[in-house]
Structure 1
Amino acid sequence: MNAKVVAPRRGWRGAGSGRSPHADKGAVYLGTTSEVAGLYPFVLGAPLPPEGVPIGTDLLTREMVCFDPQGWVGRLVQNPGVWIMAQPGAGKSAIAKRISLVYSSYGSMIIVPGDVKGEYAPLVKGLGGQVVSIGRGLDRLNPLDSGPMKRKLHLLPEDRQQVLRAEINGRRSDLLHALLATPHGLGRRPTAPEANVVGAAVERVSEALSDDPVIPDVVRVLREGPKELWAKLLVDNVDDYRALVREVTLALENLCQGPLAGLFDGPTTQPLDLDAPALSVDLSAILTAGDQVVAAGLLATWAFAYGAIDSARALGMMNRPAVIVLDEMWRALRAGPGMVDAMDGMTRLNRNKGEVTLLITHSLRDPESLPTPEDRAKALGLMDRCDSLILGALSAGELERVNQQRPLTTEEQGLVASWSAPSITGVDGTNQRHPGRGKVLIKIGTRAGAPARLDLTEAETQLYDTDKAMRRKVSSE
């Protein structure tokens, strides 16, 4: 069989010719398909496999770029984690929502365990999912809730019940230790004696109550100071006991007072519906309380959601793959070492659970600003465990930081930097559309990056246009 190859030549009609720029048809050559096949794809490498989520057209070849970290495990990637990073306004959340929307159609459950701005709620509602709104006068979430296990635990054999109870109490203690490390707690990691006595108090109230304990129950036991807690601290009198537990007890009380009062200090008012096609824990009602409150809220809701998912999987109540969106990561990392440890544990085993975790942030400065080398290494390890990297518009300095973690070619850095903007504030003081909006570079392992442009459909624009509220505000003024 013969094939026709056209070798194009760019041409230009000279000035005064009255003709516009054009491309000549070029010379035509004939050859067999076995010979001509060696010419394709000419000087350009093959794009990513056409599988999974359609992102948009390749900025260089105009071919469709697709993305499928879940389906590529064992072939192109070893871990389905995805690290998404770009300047504010460049479209980080938009691409996360596109991935979520398409994976939902493939049968994955979409989980947004901490929606700081409430921007995922329209998408979740559009998918027929559940939105739990945390805030005073709204829903309340008990960080010590055992989730689906409390409905099934009594049906299991006694030895299995003991194992799962120990796991539940371990998670409860770990979460309290992490909350204590936030500024609204101790502002540091609990000492060994403090961690020991808190764990013992959790076990005591869990055994004494028929329902899930709440943080005030743990505080009450610490204040009562039963002698079994003395033994945990190797003391034999109440004065020594109180001296050792005073600070941690007051710190736990702080988690139930002030700006956090009414959020996490009582029973859960609306359990997560793990049968829903999608769910979101909306934290937008506490956004005005400050970053420290939001960080504590993220820690509690992320841990609660992950615990519920793990419990449901352990009991065979949830077998679907899931996409878990961890947006606004920078807020969480600024909460301190407790958050780093919690995030490290939550995201470590996602490959074996069929979970695609989307870790979204705008800078590597936040991990690098953590107080100890161990914390910084653990935070950057979150990025290292993501085999898929999606970069939007970033400054040259930020790309250099990325390059130290995940090598980028000079051309890739130059391309992504060309999308960035030092400022997107107009002369009238209003925010302008980011010049790199929708442009992303998708890096899979060490493969050459695929630059693509994400253009939203009309339905997507209605579901998750994060600029809508801002435009309404500007027009009203």
Structure 2
Amino acid sequence: MKIPSHHATTAHLGAIFPFFSENHMLAKSVVIGSNLFGGTFCFDPFEMYANGVISNPNMVVFGQIGMGKSSFIKTYLFRQSIFGRKAWIIDPKGEYSQLAVALNCQPIILRPNGRIKLNPLELGTSDLLVALVESGMKRGLRPIERAGMDISLSIAKAKAKDANLHHATLPMVLNELLDPNESFSSSLFIDQGELKKEIKEIALELRRMVSGDLRGMFDGPTSRGVTPKAKCVVIDLSNLYSSHSLSAVMACATSWLQSEMIERERDGGLFMVIDEAWAVLEDIGVSKWLQKSFKLARSYGVSNIAVMHRFSDLLSGGESGSVQEKLG
């Protein structure tokens, strides 16, 4: 008796291959879909990190337009909320507002000259300032410029303390850069007039955030009542999605969240989502700053999620061997 042959794809044959069975899912994991064997596929970076399965909890999600990557992220974060996880989201296209509402939160909508401001200097370091200026000037800072940025921030922080302010602001730093005093110049062993010329370019670039096309979003203390204490924080940047300064705006918003991240209570895992991450990766100054920030994730119980269209987005900022490629 001749039995007719059976034709099947490798995907189906994999399901009936003998001696294989699905792994048991972790007790505290979120369902994502089904695996090759027809069983449940679950993934939780915090549980896997705690069990030594992965070396860090950060994630990258790839998907072409219309393939459902945003839907996946929103569903994943909503399910994670059941386990007490929180989500902070940088939303360049305004796609996560419904998730915020579903979790009884209101998105933070930023726009030039809008009613809401975030202070990106609450973190208290000059790294963001350097990234913003390098982003605008498309070059690295010279030693005198970097030193000038550090000292101007230190002076601004001291003046903020004298004025009973919690944090320095961008306008305060800008004032020190535009008009460095004698103490400022003497600390660098340079003539006051010469110092003013040396740091004028970085001062003018930073001015954009204060009185230029990006004014009214990051040029003062954080607006009263704006806090990331809720289950979900969505920073809606859709009003600036077409701006050439999108990467700088995303960096400022992320910096504000990171300052809150450090001070938050460790009452569960936190997801920090950066959608349209290609906008950051194509900018060398902001990329370097973000890479440094991502490395701090494990110590603060944070899983960073970068959302991109394709693998080539990792190379969008530079050619083979470039700094951008290495950062990606």
- Scaled by the length of structure 1, the TM-score of the pair is 0.60
Stretches of structure 2 that go unaligned for 5 or more consecutive residues are 7-14
Give the corresponding residue for 2:9.
none
Give the corresponding residue for 2:253.
301
One-letter code of the match for 1:89?
G
Matches within 5 A, 1:248-327: 248-270=202-224, 272-288=226-242, 290=243, 292-310=244-262, 312-313=263-264, 317-327=265-275
Distance in 1, matches of 2:226 and 2:296, equals 21
Cα 1:249–1:301 change in 2 (3 A) is same
Give the corresponding residue for 1:191.
142
1:431-466 CA-to-partner distances (Å, cap 9, x unmatched) read xxxxxxxxxxxxxxxxxxxxxxxxxxxxxxxxxxxx
Distance in 2, matches of 1:197 and 1:301, equals 24
- Percent same amino acid at aligned positions? 24
Give the corresponding residue for 1:50.
25
Give the corresponding residue for 1:214.
169
One-letter code of the match for 1:179?
L
Cα 1:279–1:61 change in 2 (3 A) is same
Q: CA deviation at 1:367?
A: 3.1
Q: CA deviation at 1:275?
A: 2.6
1:317-368 CA-to-partner distances (Å, cap 9, x unmatched) read 443321111111011112x211111211121132233222211111333332
- Select the structure of larger CA radius of gyration: 1
Distance in 1, matches of 2:326 and 2:226, equals 29
Q: CA deviation at 1:62?
A: 2.4
Match of 2:134 among 181, 195, 199: 181
One-letter code of the match for 1:227?
E
One-letter code of the match for 2:135?
T
1:220-278 CA-to-partner distances (Å, cap 9, x unmatched) read 1222211222134321x332122211111111112223321212222221554333111
Give the corresponding residue for 1:341.
288
Cα 1:325–1:110 change in 2 (3 A) is same
One-letter code of the match for 1:182?
S
Distance in 1, matches of 2:185 and 2:106, equals 44
Give the corresponding residue for 2:59.
82
Stretches of structure 1 that go unaligned for 5 or more consecutive residues are 1-8, 13-39, 147-167, 381-477
Q: Secondary structure of 2:79's match? A: helix
One-letter code of the match for 1:43?
P
One-letter code of the match for 2:238?
S
Is 370-379 or 259-268 further displaced after alignment? 370-379
Q: Secondary structure of 2:84's match? A: coil
Give the corresponding residue for 2:303.
356
Greater RCO, CA 8 A, separation 6+: 2
1:92-111 CA-to-partner distances (Å, cap 9, x unmatched) read 11221222111111001111
Distance in 2, matches of 1:256 and 1:273, equals 22
Cα 1:324–1:49 change in 2 (3 A) is farther
Cα 1:339–1:45 change in 2 (3 A) is farther
- Scaled by the length of structure 2, the TM-score of the pair is 0.86
Cα 1:261–1:49 change in 2 (3 A) is same
Matches within 5 A, 1:30-45: 42-43=17-18, 45=20
Taking only aligned residues, the RMSD between alpha carbons, in angstroms, comes to 2.4
Distance in 2, matches of 1:232 and 1:100, equals 49
One-letter code of the match for 1:188?
R
One-letter code of the match for 1:309?
M
Matches within 5 A, 1:21-36: none
Whether the 8 Å CA contact 1:55–1:65 is kept in 2: the answer is yes
Does 1:233 find its partner at 2:184? no
Q: CA deviation at 1:11?
A: 8.4
Whether the 8 Å CA contact 1:330–1:363 is kept in 2: the answer is no
Distance in 1, matches of 2:155 and 2:21, equals 60
Q: Secondary structure of 2:196's match? A: helix
Q: CA deviation at 1:195?
A: 1.1
Distance in 2, matches of 1:357 and 1:67, equals 15
Give the corresponding residue for 2:279.
331
One-letter code of the match for 1:108?
R
Q: Secondary structure of 2:241's match? A: helix
Whether the 8 Å CA contact 2:228–2:257 is kept in 1: the answer is no
Cα 1:227–1:120 change in 2 (3 A) is same
Distance in 1, matches of 2:177 and 2:99, equals 43
One-letter code of the match for 2:95?
E
Q: CA deviation at 1:48?
A: 4.7
Does 1:110 find its partner at 2:87? yes
Cα 1:303–1:250 change in 2 (3 A) is same
Give the corresponding residue for 1:4.
none
Q: Secondary structure of 1:140's match? A: coil
One-letter code of the match for 1:361?
M
